[in-house]
Structure 1
Amino acid sequence: MDILNPFGLRNGSLIHISEVKQRGLDCNCTCPSCGDILIARLGEVRSWCFAHSNNCDCNFSLESALHLFAKEVLTKYNYIKIPEVIASFKTKVCTISKPIYFYFDHVLLEETVEDIIPDIILIKGDIQLFVEIKVTHGIDLEKHKKIERLDISTIEIDLSRFFFNKEFDRSRIETIIIENVTDYKRWIYNRKVLEKEIELEDEYLIEEKENMRNQKLREELKAKWIEEQKEKTRQLISELREKNPRMYGREEKLLHTHLWKKANEYLNLTVNEIPTYLNYKIQGEIVFNCDRRIWQTYIFSNFINKYIKRQKSDYILVKGVVSWLKKDFVTIPINTYLTYLDKKEFEGIPDLTDVIGEFLLNLCRYGVLRLITDYPTENNKYHWCFIKLVDNIKLLPRKYQSNEYTEIGNELVNVNTGEVVGKLSEVYKKIRGD
């Protein structure tokens, strides 16, 4: 600190070095601590300060001088605005009182109260308010505990930044001491806070118990809801399995459905021309709520025939088809409960990913697609990737479109003779141009 002694006494009142007009002994000031005559040093180079005239060993106390200064201000006004009182416990916060004016009758300076000496004591009737003046540091932990034990409300006023400047603004500091409640004052202890914090703790514990009960109830309800959804899914699977054979009506009925017209939009197939690979029974196909010829033709048309015509990618991914089928604009009806199934709960029941994977894998038998074996499958059909091998639909020649022929494995076989006509990928021919 540049200024060792910024205060002196003149006619019983504290005066700051910046308020002195005369140099040397003409300042007519004495030391607030020992009473010795002071010299005012108002040089052009060194910081302004007071010095003892007889070079005595006085240990000047800046704290005591500031306490005296604050006492003079408080005595002058006889009131002080104190900060709002806030109590809190964890997440609970309560404002006990807003900033208010405390009017007092007496001001005591550094009076002993039991085993502590507050800087200033303000007294109104039988009410005491301690005021601590912060100079270089606040009160220590020991004094803080003693204040709590005495159960006397205490505020701190931070004046540390105002007394080591040549320009000393007395009126501003008076305003800070009397009026300010936000920047320079804080509660060290307030007797009302402890009582309120105990209430808040009780409220918090009650709410925590209630929250725990509610959380347990929510978890129970969630578990019940999950089990209900699983049961609903199981029932739906059972119902659909019974309903599934009835999904596939006569050919003439299929021709007049709007779904078939949408699925067949790019292929223009007659019912008799629908190839076997677009009428292939797949385990788990109850995920679709329509005739299998509709959804298989729809996927083939949009992801193979249509894309090739438009010179799109030569690759088709299971995850791409699955994502597309879940879009709002796709008209193929899906039983949404079956689009994804927990394998542990519904082991052995294929979901949408499994069905699409098997459908595309079946197209490999007919030379329409080929699974890219070096593509990372991660043992999951969702990541399967296929490359397209044809640039249009492949149909079975009409001479083989009878009950005399059947498909076994990857081959077309004569039912009557057992003769293998050929591999499906060779027998099915591209007979329709772009």
Structure 2
Amino acid sequence: MNYTNTLQSFAHNQHGQLTSIREAERGQSCLCTCPVCGEKLIAKQGGIRAWHFAHTSGNECENAGESSLHLACKEVVARASMIVKPCIGDDLQYLKIHKADMEIPVKTEDGLTVVPDVTICSSNNELTFIEIAVTHKIDLEKKEKIDSLKIPTMEIVIDSSMMEEWDWKTIEELVLHDNLRRYWVYEPQSEVIEKTDFVVNKGSNSSAYTNEFQTKINDVPVRVRQFDWGVSVWSGFDTEVNLKIKKIMRGFGGRWNPRYKNWTVTGSMLFEPMVAALEN
């Protein structure tokens, strides 16, 4: 179920720390303020509607629910010890976090500034940018800056309408562990993959595809290629579409290739049945 209006589930307490509605005292005793506009809030904790914060003036500031959720997501990453990398298969890989900072400006070689939501540093001092998309995804201008820096960057997509009331546990599960809610905005290895643009299968002497089918599912690009050894399926990032393709490929005995971020299955005769399954 999706909710059209995002209620405000997080606020700053009297110590300036972000707190959830479940951690606050009831009513004005919560001593909380809005992270967006700074106005005093009331903790509404009734028995009918979902618990949420409301502005004492009665005038809710624009996008307070989404903005406070975005801030909570960033804090979850900043205090975590690891975060899952983007992938569609079942073989999850985690990135260990040695240090994390929120909204630290970084200069490009051209003197331009990019401010990632969270910058994490591994134990060997390698940087990774984390972007959280609640209301707005990364625009072209920011992506170009990230590409010029050549720093691995993942974007995590959170739909604020999923929940009427958000809590820390739910955010931690989605932001840190749900591999289908993220994708690489920039990944150094992708440059090599784009240049080669073929799939290598163990035991195969041929990497050239003999047939190709391209389509879109819910406006998400999908590509099927036929090889002498079998079939590969690639798609753009979309949670619903990725799950559909995963189900189809599992039915054909397919396996996820984390290096090339596509599905492969042995048997070139499966090309037409695969295309038919994706078109249904």
Tell me the TM-score normalized by structure 2. Answer: 0.56
The alignment yields a C-alpha RMSD, in angstroms, of 3.7
Whether 2:159 is the aligned partner of 1:147: answer: no
Query: Which amino acid is 2:126 matched to?
Result: I
Whether 2:158 is the aligned partner of 1:159: answer: yes
- Pick aligned residue for 1:83 from 82, 86, 97: 86
Unaligned runs of 5+ in 2: 108-112, 201-205, 212-280
How far, CA to CA, are the matches of 1:200 and 1:56 in structure 2?
A: 53
How far, CA to CA, are the matches of 2:114 and 2:153 in structure 1?
A: 13
Corresponding residue for residue 104 of structure 1 = 97
SS class of match (1:5): coil
Q: How many angstroms does 1:37 deviate by?
A: 2.5
CA separation of 1:210/1:55 partners in 2, compared to 1, >3 Å: closer, same or farther? closer
- Pick aligned residue for 2:106 from 99, 109, 113: 113
Q: Are the equivalent residues in 1 in contact too, given 2:82–2:97 (CA < 8 A)?
A: yes
CA separation of 1:54/1:29 partners in 2, compared to 1, >3 Å: closer, same or farther? same
Corresponding residue for residue 263 of structure 2 = none
The structure with more helix, counted as a fraction of residues: 1
How far, CA to CA, are the matches of 1:7 and 1:103 in structure 2?
A: 27
Corresponding residue for residue 31 of structure 2 = 28
Q: How many angstroms does 1:43 deviate by?
A: 5.3
Corresponding residue for residue 268 of structure 2 = none
Q: Are the equivalent residues in 1 in contact too, given 2:74–2:132 (CA < 8 A)?
A: no
Query: Which amino acid is 2:5 matched to?
Result: D
Corresponding residue for residue 17 of structure 1 = 21
- Pick aligned residue for 1:72 from 51, 75, 82: 75
Q: Greater relative contact order: 1 or 2 (C-alpha under 8 angstroms, separation 6 or more)?
A: 2
Query: Which amino acid is 2:138 matched to?
Result: I
How far, CA to CA, are the matches of 1:139 and 1:68 in structure 2?
A: 16
SS class of match (1:194): helix
CA separation of 1:7/1:113 partners in 2, compared to 1, >3 Å: closer, same or farther? same
How far, CA to CA, are the matches of 1:75 and 1:141 in structure 2?
A: 25
Unaligned runs of 5+ in 1: 86-94, 212-434
Q: Are the equivalent residues in 1 in contact too, given 2:155–2:183 (CA < 8 A)?
A: yes
Q: Are the equivalent residues in 1 in contact too, given 2:129–2:151 (CA < 8 A)?
A: yes
Q: Are the equivalent residues in 2 in contact too, given 1:67–1:119 (CA < 8 A)?
A: no
How far, CA to CA, are the matches of 2:72 and 2:80 in structure 1?
A: 13
Q: Deviations over 1:315-334 (max 9, x none)?
A: xxxxxxxxxxxxxxxxxxxx
How far, CA to CA, are the matches of 1:75 and 1:49 in structure 2?
A: 24
Q: Deviations over 1:176-219 (max 9, x none)?
A: 222221x322222211111232133699xx966999xxxxxxxx
Corresponding residue for residue 168 of structure 2 = 170
Query: Which amino acid is 2:191 matched to?
Result: L
Q: Deviations over 1:279-313 (max 9, x none)?
A: xxxxxxxxxxxxxxxxxxxxxxxxxxxxxxxxxxx
Q: How many angstroms does 1:145 deviate by?
A: 2.4
Q: How many angstroms does 1:22 deviate by?
A: 0.6
The structure with more strand, counted as a fraction of residues: 2
How many residues are matched?
A: 195
Q: How many angstroms does 1:162 deviate by?
A: 6.2
How far, CA to CA, are the matches of 1:200 and 1:78 in structure 2?
A: 34
SS class of match (1:77): coil
Tell me the TM-score normalized by structure 1. Answer: 0.38
- Pick aligned residue for 2:184 from 187, 193, 206: 187
Describe how 1:39-54 pairs up with structure 2 within 5 A: 39-42=42-45, 48-53=51-56
Q: How many angstroms does 1:133 deviate by?
A: 0.9
How far, CA to CA, are the matches of 1:163 and 1:26 in structure 2?
A: 29
How far, CA to CA, are the matches of 1:57 and 1:175 in structure 2?
A: 28
How far, CA to CA, are the matches of 2:193 and 2:50 in structure 1?
A: 50
